[in-house]
A = this chain, B = another copy of it.
Amino acid sequence: MDEQRMNLSAGFACPLPLSEHKNILLAHGGGGNLSHQLIKNLFASQFQNAFLDPLHDGAIFSAGGTRFAFSTDSYVIHPLFFPGGDIGTLAVNGTVNDLSMCGARPLYLSSAFIIEEGLPMEDLWRVVRSMDAAAKASGVLLVTGDTKVVDRGKGDKLFINTSGIGIIPEGVDISPRHARAGDTIIVSGTIADHGIAIMSVREGLEFETTIESDCAPLNSLVEAMVAASRDIHVLRDPTRGGVASALNEIAESSSLGISIREENVPVAEEVMGACEILGFDPLYVANEGKILAFVAPGAAENILAAMRAHPLGKNAAVIGEVVSDHPGTVIMKTRIGGSRVVDMLSGEQLPRIC
């Protein structure tokens, strides 16, 4: 009887590795602290295996002597169409970029559509043409797909998942765990363009010129960088959660400190203006066509030159370095000479930004 009661009570013990929130919040998808905890505690703890790296943009596996990168992303951006792109462009470029951040040459993409009943056929057709154009621009092939339709009110127009496969060239070994003390940190251009472009449309803001998303395929830029030097340790595209969250994840993965200088972080003037109006810190705003690169200090000059010679890297800049002080923490020297801790995004800044 006692034994039975014990079994019962064991059966009723909460098996959840997360106890703080009983329900999913928007912030669990925001790319900051809560996203990070959900992925680490719920998914990664259950699915653990040698290939799964919850802090990397994709998985890396070998078959027949070749190394492959494999990555997936669902796109739920609202609105579907925005200055500089649409959900289709984003769905192709986003996964091309995740593969590129593994150092891989992207080859094949799948595309899976979840369509809400009632979506105008013409909108779907626009998106499909954008995907085709984006695939051609980055040289990937859309080779397999799936289509599901959900009843009206059970989706939001269109969600797209793309998964991708790429081949990692010999000698390339890029991972957020490979940051080393002394590494130079480079950003490939101005930050926060994507998030502010989306937010401007949502809020109906008008600026003197239209702020456009930076949505772009980064594979050819990465190719140029790898051709310049193999001393690239970490690549990361700072999407949801922005540069601040990406740097925090790398500091955590590598157990090293990161030091950046505010004055060196490129932000377009109109984007900075919009950030001030909207109350956003550009360090936390999503990008869809930018790279953070951690490279050996001796190779930084060559890599920076290669980046600046590429149209997507012409505003590339050194923004800081990896240090052995303050492991796991990102510290920024501010414009006015002070210094502050740059935390991971907590809560939700911009839901459904990608």
How close is A15's CB to chain B, nearest CB, in angstroms?
Answer: 7
In chain A, residues 65-96, which have Cβ atoms closer than 8 Å to a Cβ of chain B?
Answer: 65-66, 68, 70-76, 78
**A35–B21 alpha-carbon span in the complex (Å):** 39
Residues of B within 8 A of A144 (CB): 51-52, 58-59, 70-72
Residues of B within 8 A of A116 (CB): 24
Interface string of A275-292 (1 = CB under 8 A from B): 000000000000000000
Option from B16, B70, B74 in Cβ contact (under 8 Å) with A146: B74
Q: Are B72 and A26 in contact (CB under 8 A)?
A: no
**A135–B46 alpha-carbon span in the complex (Å):** 11
Asked whether A205 is an interface residue with its Cβ less than 8 Å from the other chain, the reply is no
In chain A, residues 30-50, which have Cβ atoms closer than 8 Å to a Cβ of chain B?
Answer: 30, 35, 38-39, 42-43, 46-47, 49
How close is A59's CB to chain B, nearest CB, in angstroms?
Answer: 4
Q: Are B112 and A73 in contact (CB under 8 A)?
A: yes
Interface string of A1-18 (1 = CB under 8 A from B): 000000000000001111
Q: Are A117 and B24 in contact (CB under 8 A)?
A: yes
Residues of B within 8 A of A122 (CB): 16, 22
In chain A, residues 47-65, which have Cβ atoms closer than 8 Å to a Cβ of chain B?
Answer: 47, 49, 51-52, 58-59, 61, 63-65
Q: Are A142 and B47 in contact (CB under 8 A)?
A: yes
**A94–B303 alpha-carbon span in the complex (Å):** 44
How close is A113's CB to chain B, nearest CB, in angstroms?
Answer: 8
Asked whether A195 is an interface residue with its Cβ less than 8 Å from the other chain, the reply is no
Known: A141-B49, A148-B29. A120 touches B59 (CB 8 A): no
Q: Report the count of interface residues on A (CB-CB < 8 A).
A: 84
Determine how many copies of this chain the complex contains.
2
Interface of A is mostly: mixed
Q: Are A112 and B352 in contact (CB under 8 A)?
A: no
Asked whether A137 is an interface residue with its Cβ less than 8 Å from the other chain, the reply is no
**A197–B283 alpha-carbon span in the complex (Å):** 50
Residues of B within 8 A of A27 (CB): 149
Asked whether A155 is an interface residue with its Cβ less than 8 Å from the other chain, the reply is yes
Residues of B within 8 A of A209 (CB): none
Which of A123-131, A171-179, A258-266 is near enough to bind chain B?
A: A123-131
Q: Are A143 and B42 in contact (CB under 8 A)?
A: no
> Top 3 closest A-B pairs, CB basis?
A29-B149, A163-B163, A72-B110
Residue pairs across A and B with Cβ atoms less than 8 A apart, 16 shown, are A16-B121, A22-B122, A23-B120, A24-B120, A42-B121, A46-B132, A49-B141, A63-B64, A66-B66, A70-B143, A75-B148, A78-B154, A146-B161, A149-B351, A153-B153, A161-B161
